Amino acid sequence: MPDKDNKCTIDVSTEGIDETGACSSSSQGNLLGQQQFKLHFSNVFYVSKQNKTLVTILNDICGEFTSGRLTAILGPSGAGKTSILNVLSGFKATGVKGKFIFNEKERHLLAFRKASCYIPQDFALLDLLTVQETMCDSVDLKLPSETRAEEKLKIIDDIIQILNMEKCRHRLVRNLSGGERKRLSMAIELVTNPPVMFFDEPTSGLDSVASLQIINYLKRLALDGRIIVCVIHQPSSKLMKLFDDVLVMSRGKVVYAGPKADMVPTFESAGFAFPDFYNPADFALEVSSEEHNERLQDLIEWNKKRHCGECTILSADMDSCVNERTKILNILTYEGSKLSVVRPKAPAGFCRQLIILTRRSLRTMTRNLIAVQLRVIIHVIVAVLVGAVFWDIGNDGARTLTNISCIFFIIMFIFFGNAMPSILLCPQDTAVFTREYLNGWYSLSAYYASKLTSDLPMLLICPTLFTTIIYIMTSQPDVFARFAMCWGVSLILAIVGHFMGLAFGSTFDLQTAILLVPGLSIPFMIFSGFFIRIHELSAIFRPLCDISFYRYTMEALMQAIYGYDRPDLECHVEFCYFKSPSKLLKELDMLGDLYGHDVIVLLIWILLFKLLFFLSLVLRIKRAQ
């Protein structure tokens, strides 16, 4: 890395970068033309809690990055390469302690996040948007609302041209190649022209040609005046030539941080022989993999003295230094539990964010075979099948119990038909939300509100089609008020299932959520009043009837169809035991005006699952930090 005497003279917070983190118009084109940036870090510790045990991931590391230079982070597996990116970019705040200086000033976490970007190895993208649409959403969310449409379009065109993505501009993200996805991830973050960019293994999964193209793009970004830092796994000699600086890590410590040209001489001066015609990257990996080697420890302390200038282990000072590090670790243990979720501010206002996020969700939803097309088709097919099986049963006094079975099947299908698709759609959505939120694209409340509004069309269409078809084919009461009551309860139940699926799908992984939703909800069917009458239950289990949303749904539908003084049913046999609707409701312990009470309880369930969904999003953010 460049010598530490190379001072940075321009403050990112006052020149060339506006309050959103984007470069001002005067600096667009040749990014940050005459500006220089420097990120210096020293005595950085990162402690993580794993299996109730504190583990030191980064141990007193030091180094420096400057603009205009492409830096590679090398090291064996488990050396802490990704962790150092997470810490330096500000994505990890819990358990972090150290000194971070950006442009000769103490780094402010939120401001630094606006002026930088972090592109992880698995960059979450919405597969059902095109490249153009993805870029447009990025521009709309990241740039101020007063930015003109012509300026936004020019930014998109320039970035697509720079990254050579014109051929795939109108292609869906799911149809992009690995290299094109990598370039799209860069394009998204280049919208605000960030002066600092971190990449975690940008060449992972790519062939040698695509890898060379990606590193060439990174080199071009660095030459424009940015700080470009990337973790690279075993780069070839050809790739290694493109890097200016190298940071080599070993077991959470920095072995070397400096110019690439000085790395081999430094290792040789410490006693490590460099073979002829050997890849310097492979040599660095071999050196950093030697765990019990005093010469490696000497390199670590030499680098620390060079970049930190303090707390260096040199015989006589060893005890005091160890004590100082112990003190830092104790502070980390105490302060780490107090850190709360960082809430970066987005440039667009709440209403603007809500409109963009809702538009994006509706666009992806209409292209999703499972979420919309197949879901609607299945609702119609199953409704026709149920209507055919239970044809003309609604006013037949001899088949009243069979009609109740039909009602219970409707409840089961509507609930699971809306809960399970919500679970399946959660993993990709929440991954994109976590990345975008931590990058300050929008607020948590805006995303939450967009999920409430964008899912309403499907929650309205599917239960309406399903209930209407079955209601007509099974000849339920030909009274609009009763149909409206059945439709209202079906809609509310669909919303209950939807938000239960969202809450569990965003909290747990896919397999766990698919197991938990049926596992927790199906037992409550016992207390719905269909399998066993409420008065027949033991006193121990009766309280469970009061919290079973199946019970209130069943009760509300029974009231809608058989309650409110419905006349006696038709009877075409000698004797119909449940010819009288009031007698049926009395037998089921559902006699009385209960519809309003049932609806209120179901609305409380909706509020509960909405709250759980919101808390699950907060938990996602905390896990990511």
- Chain-centroid distance of CA 112 in Å reads 21
Placement of tokens 């890849």 in the chain: 279
Dist CA 33 CA 13 (whole Å):
16
Dist CA 321 CA 340 (whole Å):
30
For residue 324, what pLDDT is reported? 45
For residue 35, what pLDDT is reported? 65
Task: Kindly list the domain boundaries of the chain, sorted by start residue.
Answer: 25-115+194-329, 350-624
Angle between helices 374-389 and 400-438 (to 10 degrees): 170
Dist CA 536 CA 225 (whole Å):
77
Structure tokens at 299: 């390199």
Q: Give the CA distances from residue 562 to residues 139, 482, 613, in Å, rounded to whole numbers and listed in that order.
A: 56, 9, 35
In this structure, of 202-211, 213-222, 458-467, 487-496, the range with the lowest mean pLDDT score is: 202-211
3-state secondary structure 39-107: EEEEEEEEEEEECCEEEEEEEEEEEEEECCEEEEEECCCCCCHHHHHHHHHCCCCCCEEEEEEECCEEC
Q: What pLDDT digit, counting tens, does each position of 271-322 carry?
A: 888 888 788 888 888 888 876 567 788 888 887 777 676 443 333 333 444 3
Placement of tokens 């119609």 in the chain: 380
Average pLDDT for 73-99:
86
Residue 310 near residue 287, CB atoms below 8 Å: no
508-533 burial, b for 16+ CB within 10 Å, e for fewer? beeeebbebbeeebeeebbbbbbeee
Placement of tokens 């009231």 in the chain: 559
Dist CA 578 CA 365 (whole Å):
45
Does the structure show a pLDDT above 60 at 153? yes
Amino acid making up residue 411 = I
Placement of tokens 């121990």 in the chain: 540
Dist CA 113 CA 359 (whole Å):
26
Q: What pLDDT digit, counting tens, does each position of 536-586 carry?
A: 888 888 888 888 899 999 999 999 999 888 888 888 887 888 888 888 888
Q: What angle do CA 560, 497, 503 make, to 5 degrees?
A: 150
For residue 294, what pLDDT is reported? 74
Amino acid making up residue 483 = F
For residue 9, what pLDDT is reported? 30
For residue 501, what pLDDT is reported? 92
pLDDT band at residue 170 using 50, 70 and 90 as cut-offs: very high
Q: How many CB atoms lie within 10 A of CB 104?
A: 12
Dist CA 36 CA 11 (whole Å):
9
Q: What pLDDT digit, counting tens, does each position of 185-203 carry?
A: 889 988 888 889 999 888 8
Element (H, E) at 257: strand 253-259
The pairing of beta strand 69-74 with beta strand 227-231: parallel
Selected residue with higher pLDDT from 334 and 275: 275
For residue 61, what pLDDT is reported? 87
Structure tokens at 244: 């200016």
CA quadruple 363, 366, 370, 373: dihedral, nearest 10? 180
Task: Give 396's strand partners.
Answer: 570
For residue 611, what pLDDT is reported? 94
Element (H, E) at 435: helix 400-438
Q: Give the CA distances from residue 236 to residues 207, 211, 233, 280, 604, in Å, rounded to whole numbers and listed in that order.
A: 11, 10, 9, 9, 60
239 contacts: CB under 8 Å, gap ≥ 6: 203, 211, 212, 215, 232, 281
Amino acid making up residue 80 = G
Q: What pLDDT digit, counting tens, does each position of 204-222 carry?
A: 878 888 888 888 889 988 9
Residue 414 near residue 490, CB atoms below 8 Å: yes
Which stretches does DSSP call E strand in 67-211? 69-74, 96-102, 105-106, 116-119, 196-200
For residue 539, what pLDDT is reported? 82
For residue 143, what pLDDT is reported? 86
The pTM of the full predicted model, rounded to 2 decimals, is 0.77
Closest CA to 414 of 346, 345, 465, 478: 465
Q: What pLDDT digit, counting tens, does each position of 220-266 carry?
A: 889 888 899 999 888 888 888 999 999 998 888 888 888 988 888 88
Most confident of 7-21, 397-411, 575-589: 397-411
Amino acid making up residue 439 = N
For residue 299, what pLDDT is reported? 83
Q: In the chain, count of helices (H) and strands (E)?
A: 22, 10
227-231 β-sheet, strand order: 116-119, 196-200, 227-231, 69-74, 245-250, 253-259
Q: Give the CA distances from residue 120 to residues 229, 261, 435, in Å, rounded to whole numbers and listed in that order.
A: 12, 27, 9
Amino acid making up residue 34 = Q
Residue 201 three-state SS: coil
pLDDT band at residue 369 using 50, 70 and 90 as cut-offs: confident
Does the structure show a pLDDT above 60 at 31? no
Amino acid making up residue 473 = M
Task: Give 253's strand partners.
Answer: 250
Task: Give 196's strand partners.
Answer: 116, 227
For residue 481, what pLDDT is reported? 93
For residue 186, what pLDDT is reported? 87
Task: Specify the CATH architecture of the domain 25-115+194-329.
Answer: 3-Layer(aba) Sandwich (3.40)
Dist CA 9 CA 38 (whole Å):
10
Does the structure show a pLDDT above 70 at 113? yes
User: Which ranges in 224-317 belong to alpha helices (H)?
Assistant: 237-240, 260-269, 280-288, 294-307
Dist CA 119 CA 53 (whole Å):
29
In this structure, of 320-324, 343-347, 377-381, the range with the lowest mean pLDDT score is: 320-324
For residue 533, what pLDDT is reported? 81
Average pLDDT, the chain: 82
111-123 burial, b for 16+ CB within 10 Å, e for fewer? bbbbbbbbbbbeb
Dist CA 588 CA 555 (whole Å):
9
Average pLDDT for 28-37:
54
